[in-house]
Amino acid sequence: MRVVNVGVLELFTRNHADCRNWFTNWLADVRFATWLVPADLKRRYPNASILSDNVVIFNVRGNTYRLETQVSYRRGIVFIKWIGTHAEYSKR
């Protein structure tokens, strides 16, 4: 998969260094993955929430943070939409 908008993660981890390793591993994993349908993603990330319009919410570091993405399975693209704390996500 190709990951778009990685700069969002880089900016976020400047202030939240405790999740830097998680994102490094997640990026490597996603770039190596081939997700053709949401079930492929769920097999690897069973706690991810798949919403309408192929929006996927990943729980980061025990659900301390939330990563919101949009996946184009057909094109093989994961677009990073938003990252923040669980509390910030709940206020959205």
* pLDDT recorded at residue 53: 96
What global pTM score does this model have? 0.92
Q: How confident is the model at residue 3 (pLDDT cuts 50, 70, 90)?
A: very high
* CATH number where 25 lies: 3.30.2310
Q: Residues 7-54: pLDDT tens digits?
A: 999 999 999 999 999 999 999 999 999 999 999 999 999 999 999 999
Of residues 92, 48, 85, 90, the one with CA closest to residue 69: 48
pLDDT at 88 over 90: no
- β-partners of residue 4 are 79
How many DSSP H helices and E strands does the chain contain? 4, 5
Distance between CA atoms of 87 and 4, rounded to whole angstroms? 25
Please count the structural domains in the chain.
Answer: 1
Of residues 59, 72, 78, the one with CA closest to residue 8: 78
Structural domain including 66 reads 2-91
* pLDDT recorded at residue 43: 97
